[in-house]
Amino acid sequence: MTLTAMTATQAAEFRAAGTDLSERRRSGVSSGPLIDISAAPDMIGMHWGTDGSLRLGAFTTIAAIAADARLAAAYPGIAASAQGLATPQVRHLATLGGNLAQRSRCWYYRNPHIACLKKGGPDCPARSGNHLYHVAFDLGPCVAPHPSTMAAALLAYDAKVTTDRRSSLTIGDLLGDGSNGAADNALQPGEIIKSVTLPSPLQDERALYKRAISRTRAEWPLVEVCARALVKDGTFQFIRLASGGIAPVPLRLAAAEAALQGKAAFASAIAEAAQQASSGAKPLPMTGYKLDLLTGVVQDLLERLAR
């Protein structure tokens, strides 16, 4: 039987480091066959292009991304996002591909005794249940936020993803638009992420990452933002804001970007852009607080970038 046929007919899952999969196996949420995969030479490490672009193998660990000085100089938002993710122990095992393809953190999904959309159930129990940590931008039937910190950072950098079947996928292509409540990504059965390519950074651009969390360490973000900016002659000549923790997929904060593009880096303009970060939000009864967090995180990042 081919790999594609096996994964399609028996719901097999790939296992690399297994940082998320192991937890799902222990709880009984995941119980199908496993396919252990190892890194081919083109699926691990960092490969720099002559134009300053960077291709990251999907098996590259989060710790390696967080610690690489050349990457941090070129893509500080990527490095900072990796540094803030999980714990040192997890970062040393977790891979970039695994982080992008990980499954929902929703407590209803993680409970083996509760049916939900992502397990073939009829609806999303979080919508009418406890959704305190869930979305503030209600985009689809499932209200669990996407768990990948690296996806939000890569969205800010216009990264492209290559799988064993497709190339030049945007983060939106890979993860969808949130309208499919039954899936955490748009990977086909048996399809593997091979690499992620970052375009060359802008000269003199700046970037920062910040997350709002409910405890000091080892916590999933309530709201996280990766911000890039090019500030010249006191003006925002380029701005990118991408957020996680607020929607079923990472989101570009387009209204906030538009409010600041070409504007002088004054406190009033930054405050207005931060208010626009929640444009289009549709919070659930218990998640309105996330909009205040989002506004605060965006304003703090923009003020620091302007300095």
Which phi and psi (to 5°) does residue 279 adopt?
Answer: -60, 130
**CB atoms inside a 10 Å sphere around CB 29:** 19
| Whether residue 1 has pLDDT greater than 60 | no
pLDDT of 245-256, one tens digit each? 999 999 999 999
For the segment 138-153, the average pLDDT, to the nearest whole number, is 97
* Mean pLDDT score of the chain: 93
pLDDT of 4-59, one tens digit each? 443 344 578 888 888 888 889 988 898 889 988 888 888 999 999 999 999 999 99
Q: For residue 219, what pLDDT is reported?
A: 77
Distance between CA atoms of 17 and 53, rounded to whole angstroms?
Answer: 27
> Within 13 A of 94's CA, how many CA atoms are on the CB side?
26
Query: How many angstroms from the chain centroid is the CA of residue 53?
Result: 20
Q: Which two tokens stand for residue 216?
A: 């000091």
Model confidence, pTM: 0.93
Q: For residue 220, what pLDDT is reported?
A: 86
E strand or H helix at 71? helix 69-74
Distance between CA atoms of 12 and 158, rounded to whole angstroms?
Answer: 31
pLDDT of 113-136, one tens digit each? 999 999 999 999 999 999 999 999
Distance between CA atoms of 40 and 195, rounded to whole angstroms?
Answer: 11
